[in-house]
Structure 1
Amino acid sequence: MKQPYPVTPKPRQTWCALAALTCCLLSGAAVAADSARPWMNTALSPDARARLLEQALTLDERIALVHSPMALDLGEMAKKPAGALGSAGYVAPIERVGIPALNQTDASLGVTNPAGTRPGDSATALASGLSLAATWNPQLARASGAAIGQESHAKGFNVLLAGGANLTRDPRGGRNFEYLGEDPWLAGVMAGASIAGIQSANVVSTTKHFALNPYETGRDYHNAQIDPAALRESDLLAFQLAIERGQPGSIMCAYNKINTVYACENGPLLGDALKRDWGYKGWVMSDWGAVHSTVAAAQVLDHESGEQLDKQVFFGEPLKQAVAAGKVAPGRLSDMVQRILRSMFAVGLFDRPPVAAKIDYEAHAKLAQDAAAEGIVLLRNERNTLPLSREVKRIAVIGGNAALGVLSGGGSSQVTPTGQPPVIVPMGGNAPFDAFFRRAVWFPSAPLAAIRARAPKAEVIFDDGRYPAAAAELARSADVAIVFGTQWNGEAEDLPDLSLPQGQDALVAAVAAANPRTVVVLETGNPVDMPWLDASAAVLEAWYPGQRGGDAIADVLFGDVNPSGRLPMTFPKSVTQLPRPVLPGRGLAKGVGFDIDFNEGADVGYRWFHKTGAAPLFAFGHGLSYTSFAVSDLKVEGGKTLKVSFAVRNTGTRAGADVPQVYLSSAAGQPLRRLIGWDKVQLAPGESKRVTVEADPRLLGRFDAKSHSWKVAAGDYRVVVGASAIDNGVQGGAQLSAQTLKP
């Protein structure tokens, strides 16, 4: 059967971690190549090694590599396979030829232990993806990825289901907290750095969920409709950048349909864009339960994951029969297997298998705390209310379970933190997985205790916030009131609105009305409405700050850390400003398909606000500091791309980090707003540094569907260097020549 797409793969992520039982076998196999196993010759390329090994496999062995079960004990639904560590998925080893098992685990925020399947096993719980994105610090993203990768490798895992690069198109998206914001350049750069960090530990990383997967409502059956060129300029560009920079061993395709075709059998997505245009050499795995066919899926999908959740094991016996009948070419099956093996060789799964090792959890916890503090965004700071003085006499701490810990997001990314056990509050539900997904988990890093530790001379009094009038009375008698607002988000459900749930907006309003020095700390997975904003003195967005989140929050409140976080998402004033004010699919019966029209196209987030002229509550890129900065001496050079350089000076009295952002403000005479670069600059008081940003030419052009290429028009290009997407800061421009870029 003729192959519709090229069958040559490229290094990407893998799905697992090696079971401890197979380590001895693997170590022995990797000592030296011999004539019986020429693929163990490390002098050969990963492609050559994969071809040699694939040719040595039987048909049944090939089939065994392209489908896998969940590796959990879930009653009648699933049983942990023999030899598996216990995690999201498991591909059994093929010992005859020395292929190691793939032990696959979730991922981006730390190594998970779903349903406590590995009793007593914990891991470092990092802050949410949005918190990491808010640092605007790729070096920190790489370090965080490396820490997760090291823990995975030491626990016996060799595939991490990480690298979330979906754009956060709607602030009600239930899984936004796992992702890296609304801009393709920011998300792609940060995801690529995280993936590279994970794979530096010889663990395959995925990037997911490919693609256009910003909603959880009806995620198994809704149809995302978008102009193909706009998709290339937005979500696909974020993935393309993440793949180029991180070289993930695997790509995980999404549940939803895109332009009427399921993502995991979508030819334009997986065949045309990923494998042909981008030359991707790794393997495409499905999300768990995202496969709907054998023959159609096998044209572009390489591995069926979590097979118990599908209607049948499509890539088991049905695929074997389809190959025998000529409905799927034998060469396509060989390509599927080669892609898996190629990534395993490229990332080091054969040559440097996982081995039990001591994990420096304290060092990783410190990294988690530092990253959480760097991701906190100071949204408002009237009258220099923050940082707080350690000499303050009386502090009221109110609400948000601040005496208990810090909130985390729900679903498959949930980590069991090291140290004290978390507090788990079951939230109930109606679906089979609700007991697993719908749990509010509080990491035991209590902000109240951290505040007391940093203000030992103060009287720090706590009120749980259940009764706003009582909380207001306490706040009225305090020198400063710190009120915590929380918003739980989780996998498999979106938010109905942007309020703080359970009446917390009324609590914040009552406290702010009682004390003009009210500081609001938000632990949320998304932007929220702030009807009380004008009455507040200061607002911190702390996201889901991970297992040391209470300490990170206190570090910023008292100035031990000068805040440098910047928003990776626009905070709207109202859902009426969004492209889809009504949440798609809301109110429909389960299983009823529906279309989502992505009418904003590539104008996601701040670009939509710029296009419509709507004023946000807080703009993309916004964030304050305890010092001040100034940009000057702008120089813009043209030619094939834009090279932008400028000086940044700390004009305040504290050391701090600035994040100057470079936006394209017009392209060949067409007004627009698009992030084309940034830098994070640490400066002492009075210190100045020069920053240079060179734009990726794709950010300056448009994807032309007719010629199937990126087109950059000749003409005048203008830029603005500012503190957010709406700051007109310092402006300049240069001439660009026309050029055409490959897709």
Structure 2
Amino acid sequence: MRKLTLLGLLLSGAAHAAPVWQDRAKSPAVRAAALEQALTTDEKLSLVHGIWPVPWTRAPGEALPAGAVPGAGYVPGVPRLGIPALTETDASLGVSNPSNVRAGDFATALPSGLAMASTFDPDSAYRADAMIAGEARAKGFNVLLTGGVNLARDPRNGRNFEYYGEDPLLSGLMGGAAIRGAQSQHVIATVKHFALNDSETNRNFSNSVIAEAPMRESDLLAFEIAIEQGHPASVMCGYNLVNGAYDCGNAPLLDGVLKGDWQYPGFVMSDWGAVKATDFALDGLDQQSAEETDKQRWFGAPLAEAVRTGHVPDARLSDMVRRILYGQIASGAFDAPVAPGGTIDYAADAAVSRQVATAGMVLLKNDHAILPLARSARTILVIGDYVEKGVMSGGGSSNVIGKPDQPAAPMSGETLFAQYVKEQYHPSPPLAAIRARAPQAHVLFDNGRNAAEAARKAKLADLVIVFGNQWMTEDSDAPNIDLPRGQDAMIAGVAAANPHTVVVLQTGGPVAMPWLDHVPAVLEAWYSGQQGGEAIADILFGDANPSGRLPITFPRSIAQTPRPPVLDGADLPDGVQFDVRYPEGADIGYRWFAKTGQTPLFAFGHGLSYTRFRYADLVVRGGKTPTASFTVTNVGDRAGADVPQLYLTRAPGGPARRLLGFRRVMLAPGASQRVQLPLDARLLSRFDPAAHAWSLDGGTYRISLSQASDADQIDADVRLAARRQAP
């Protein structure tokens, strides 16, 4: 009788034990598998498609689903099993609020992705995206659509400002750190837009054409590194086609590379409006986002019917759901539900934005040490459109409303996208910040719209600070790399009138500078975010030492690049597919310039400081993980940060050029630091499609320690044994 009583107690305890998916000691994979098995078919289907929770997608009088937070996306949860809904928001530069759909809800705006990349500091990317994700959680979001690592193959790409430049190592490390920072706050982060979504012109119909080896060595390598470093819970596929198949239905990319070679365990979500068929589920897509933006709700009733008939196997639906649940559990979103109304320290978050802006500004030119500016100047003329109101912000889904009085001008255009996009300025006016740094000076202002008037005023000033603005936005590429609206002619006229002219650029990417030889100083400020005006003044007047380095090559003209003078697809109507060919292969940016022997306007990695640095004692050792070590010394008279860069400059097959490593180093005057960097063997290898592996040739490799991609300082040779590495 006693044995039966004990058995009854044991069975009773087992019946009340927590289910496996609630056991945090179990792995995310085990928990997700158990949870998926507890779902009904209808519940599984509900998790693989979502809506865009904004009023303009609803029928008149139709309310949003309970629990949906107006924003980028919403996927309902399964309350009976504790599965939270997915509440999604853009993006990498702050928590967006499209068309002020959450009235009066403002967020901290980071500087652009290119500004972040210019810091060459993954730790800054981590802190910045942790800040954004913290604000997202407080606003009720548990999915942050961050992590863009598409490479800058064309300087005219409208979304270059969101990304991290042209190099796969830099992009991968910065993107991975940003993803890791976001997920430290228990939200799902994405990496996007997979893959080769490298232009915006007719992006739904452009077909990126490239062979496997160069694709693996460039764009895919950036994603591979970002995924290794950040472990994103989700991958977002892009709008474009790659070698004839749409990204979101591209089995070789999704099932072959991502889930096969890389063994990626999370889920693939579509970009908004990027799904073309239910069969995309058979090609690796796991979730249809914002289904109203597609021609059909492909993963709704059509997918349910396909599962019922067996066209889409039950096993595939289960895999889709397990991956989504894995992403929720691995990121912490499952165990740490969010709710709107959390506390946000906006002052602390603004300080994060300002730190990134300051560290990311790149001093391109500084003849005769005109910068930092003397505070004793009597008359200063500041020229630039809207600089009395704020600093420029890039347009599109990444745009952030930072304050209620944010100035904005409607985008001029006939497209549907143009109705929702504005040329926006964060209310941190450089003019006010400059006046605050030079209280004894008479600081004048001109908007620069009339070149003759700007030049006339320039003659009357001791010093001129002129701003050159290039607004870029998602869904539209620039036709060229000139400053728009006649600004190049205006700057040239001002420089002719006053030789003491400093140019500050607010751009979404590289621009030509036909006036460069006639101005003593140029500062690339990018889109500088919440406190950009203050950061610009800090650099100009020496309250901060410039330390940014270019993450993207500045060509003298489009003719120096492998891109055609007129954008591919520029004159085609919607619905007509066209090819975008990449003859440069993996030789993007600085590698193209090295290969073709051309001299750019400014090289990748270039950036000046108000102090000087010296490199010494480069030592490179081989082995399974080659390493390089060297010493950096600040030989100037003020503290500053340097970014020493390691490049492969010769391989056994001949000359080469590839970034192998970098480190941001902060040093006091006279101080030194020994730096050691591991060298990723993939960056020394070539991808061999026949062997389906990375192939490292045996022989001697030359490694150069450099201040920029075209400024080698010290060389060292190392012998490496031949080997192969699985992708």
Query: Shorter chain as normaliser: what TM range?
Result: over 0.9
Q: In 2, Cα distance between the equivalents of 1:646 and 1:295?
A: 53
Which residue does 1:417 correspond to in 2? 402
Conserved 8 A contact 1:33-1:39:
no
Q: Which amino acid aligns with 2:397?
A: S
Q: In 1, Cα distance between the equivalents of 2:693 and 2:575?
A: 38
Which residue does 2:717 correspond to in 1? 733
1:524 lines up with 2:507 in the alignment: yes
Q: Give 1:599 shift.
A: 1.0
Which residue does 1:552 correspond to in 2? 535
Q: Which amino acid aligns with 2:343?
A: K
Return the match for 1:457 from 440, 446, 465: 440
Return the match for 2:235 from 251, 254, 274: 251
1:207 lines up with 2:191 in the alignment: yes
Q: Which amino acid aligns with 1:403?
A: E
Return the match for 1:541 from 524, 527, 530: 524
Q: Give 1:125 shift.
A: 0.4
Q: Give 1:642 shift.
A: 2.9
1:505 lines up with 2:493 in the alignment: no
Return the match for 2:260 from 276, 283, 293: 276
1:53 lines up with 2:35 in the alignment: yes
Return the match for 1:90 from 51, 61, 74: 74
Q: Which amino acid aligns with 2:29?
A: D
Deviations 1:592-639 (A, max 9, x none): 210011111111111111111111000000000011111111112123
Gaps of 5+ in 2: 1-13
Return the match for 2:451 from 438, 460, 468: 468
Q: Give 1:35 shift.
A: 4.1
Which residue does 1:390 correspond to in 2? 375
Gaps of 5+ in 1: 1-31
1:156 lines up with 2:126 in the alignment: no
Deviations 1:142-182 (A, max 9, x none): 00011001111111100000000000111000000000010
Q: Which amino acid aligns with 1:741?
A: Q
Conserved 8 A contact 2:183-2:331:
yes
1:119 lines up with 2:96 in the alignment: no
Q: Which amino acid aligns with 1:269?
A: L
Which residue does 2:558 correspond to in 1? 575
Q: In 2, Cα distance between the equivalents of 1:37 and 1:75?
A: 38
Return the match for 1:38 from 14, 20, 36: 20
Conserved 8 A contact 2:149-2:163:
yes
Deviations 1:663-718 (A, max 9, x none): 00011242110000011111111111111111011111011100101111110000
Q: What does 1:330-729 align with in structure 2 at a 5 Å threshold?
A: 330-355=314-339, 356-418=341-403, 420-437=404-421, 439-582=422-565, 583-729=567-713
Q: Give 1:320 shift.
A: 1.2
Q: In 2, Cα distance between the equivalents of 1:247 and 1:427?
A: 37
Deviations 1:471-510 (A, max 9, x none): 1122122121000010010010100011111011111111
Task: Give SS of 2:165's match.
Answer: coil
Call closer, same or farther: CA 1:457–1:318 in 2, change over 3 Å.
same
Call closer, same or farther: CA 1:325–1:453 in 2, change over 3 Å.
same
Conserved 8 A contact 1:394-1:460:
yes
Conserved 8 A contact 1:669-1:717:
no
Q: Give 1:83 shift.
A: 2.4
Q: Give 1:295 shift.
A: 2.1
Q: In 1, Cα distance between the equivalents of 2:243 and 2:16?
A: 50
Q: In 1, Cα distance between the equivalents of 2:285 and 2:654?
A: 40
Task: Give SS of 2:55's match.
Answer: coil
Q: Give 1:591 shift.
A: 2.1
Q: Give 1:268 shift.
A: 1.0
1:63 lines up with 2:45 in the alignment: yes
Q: In 2, Cα distance between the equivalents of 1:642 and 1:394?
A: 56
Q: In 1, Cα distance between the equivalents of 2:322 and 2:625?
A: 38
Q: Give 1:357 shift.
A: 2.1
Q: In 1, Cα distance between the equivalents of 2:549 and 2:15?
A: 51
Q: In 2, Cα distance between the equivalents of 1:509 and 1:401?
A: 20
Q: Scaled by the length of structure 2, what TM-score is found?
A: 0.96
Task: Give SS of 2:286's match.
Answer: coil
Q: Give 1:407 shift.
A: 0.6
Q: Give 1:75 shift.
A: 5.3
Q: Which amino acid aligns with 1:695?
A: L
Q: Which amino acid aligns with 1:376?
A: M
Q: In 1, Cα distance between the equivalents of 2:319 and 2:21?
A: 17
Call closer, same or farther: CA 1:462–1:711 in 2, change over 3 Å.
same
Conserved 8 A contact 2:107-2:402:
yes
Q: In 1, Cα distance between the equivalents of 2:636 and 2:59?
A: 60
Task: Give SS of 1:652's match.
Answer: coil
Query: In angstroms, what is the RMSD of aligned CA positions?
Result: 1.4
Instruction: Return 610-619 or 469-478, whichever deviates more.
Output: 469-478
1:72 lines up with 2:57 in the alignment: no
Call closer, same or farther: CA 1:716–1:36 in 2, change over 3 Å.
closer
Q: Give 1:738 shift.
A: 1.1
Q: In 2, Cα distance between the equivalents of 1:207 and 1:651?
A: 40
Task: Give SS of 2:359's match.
Answer: helix
Deviations 1:421-455 (A, max 9, x none): 21110023212221113x10011100000000111
Q: Which amino acid aligns with 1:536?
A: V
Call closer, same or farther: CA 1:34–1:683 in 2, change over 3 Å.
farther
Conserved 8 A contact 1:639-1:735:
no
Q: Give 1:533 shift.
A: 0.3
Conserved 8 A contact 1:648-1:688:
yes
Task: Give SS of 1:497's match.
Answer: coil
1:137 lines up with 2:139 in the alignment: no
Q: In 2, Cα distance between the equivalents of 1:279 and 1:630?
A: 43
Task: Give SS of 1:729's match.
Answer: strand
Conserved 8 A contact 1:104-1:159:
yes
Deviations 1:329-359 (A, max 9, x none): 1111000000000111111112112243211
Return the match for 1:326 from 285, 288, 310: 310
Identity in percent: 55
